[in-house]
Structure 1
């Protein structure tokens, strides 16, 4: 079975709403053969990442940067996973009260250094989220679950 790992930091009601929309999309009944695993960024481990066929990252934009929790995740997995996760499809959602640019740039810099492949443009929201942002998060979850399935089939030769 393919595995989609969602690593998130959800300190606010808004980031929690974004996570819930991503999960709804990823767990869509029309998508079969994908196990969706969620982990708070401070609890995600090297084995979690190595078992993933795709990953979705979720973060608030704190003081112009990704959350410290997501940075801790990257610090934990960077060297142990550097060569074994090359080509890993990933997606990102981020929320900020005034801006998300620095957080997105930081995540994209690290994932590029790890050789990951951005599957979709990031979903970003500033301030309150509405229907458009929720739908974008749902779609992000669904299409990244499909990317996990595709990568799993490529890696295992199973379809």
Structure 2
């Protein structure tokens, strides 16, 4: 099973997660869209691979995504080694801070990155645009569909 664990504040990361799930749907492997705030260690243990999707807030992971890792990190320590992961970050103008924080966290789980980070920039850089609901362009959603397809096909083939 591919677990797409996501959190969204303004709709961008949710649209990215849904697009990734659409792309993954063609493979024989099961795909689960899991809201970060509801994901349990048991959900993670059932997954063969992970796609983590969230926005960047204040240069790091959102509080809800961080809370997922805080809640699940120690119960899963030593139990997920070698499983595949990829990530997608929705950001206004950067994204690298959230990506770096996510990579540091999953290093402890010994997950294996199988695709380059996908950072989608919305251009939001002022309070009104940062807080506004987001609609992503087709090309950004296509990148997420391709990422979901890559993960599900790779898991199905046993490539990772």
1:131 to 134, 138, 152: 138
Q: Kindly report which structure 2 residues correspond to 1:24-103, keeping only aligned pairs within 5 A, or say none.
A: 24-28=22-26, 31-32=27-28, 34-103=29-98
1:143 and 2:141 correspond: no
Alpha-carbon contact 2:55-2:91 (below 8 Å) kept: yes
Q: CA deviation at 1:15?
A: 1.7
Would you identify which runs of 4 or more consecutive aligned residues in structure 1 move more than 6 Å?
A: none
What is the Cα deviation at residue 98 of structure 1? 2.2
Q: CA RMSD in A?
A: 1.7
The equivalent residue for 2:132 is: none
The gaps in structure 2 that reach 5 residues or longer are 124-135
> TM-score, normalised to structure 2's length?
0.86
Distance (whole Å) between structure 1 residues aligned to residue 105 and residue 156 of structure 2? 24
TM-score of the aligned structures, taking structure 1 as reference length: 0.86
| Contact 1:53/1:149 (8 A) holds in 2 | no
Alignment of 1:5-20 (within 5 A): 5-20=3-18
Q: Please state how far the C-alpha of 1:150 moved relative to its aligned partner.
A: 4.1
Q: Secondary structure at the match of 2:37?
A: coil
Q: Following the alignment from structure 1 to structure 2, what is the Cα–Cα distance between the partners of residues 100 and 50? A: 28
Once the two structures are TM-superposed, the CA of residue 119 in structure 1 deviates from its matched residue by 1.0
SS in 2 for 1:99: coil
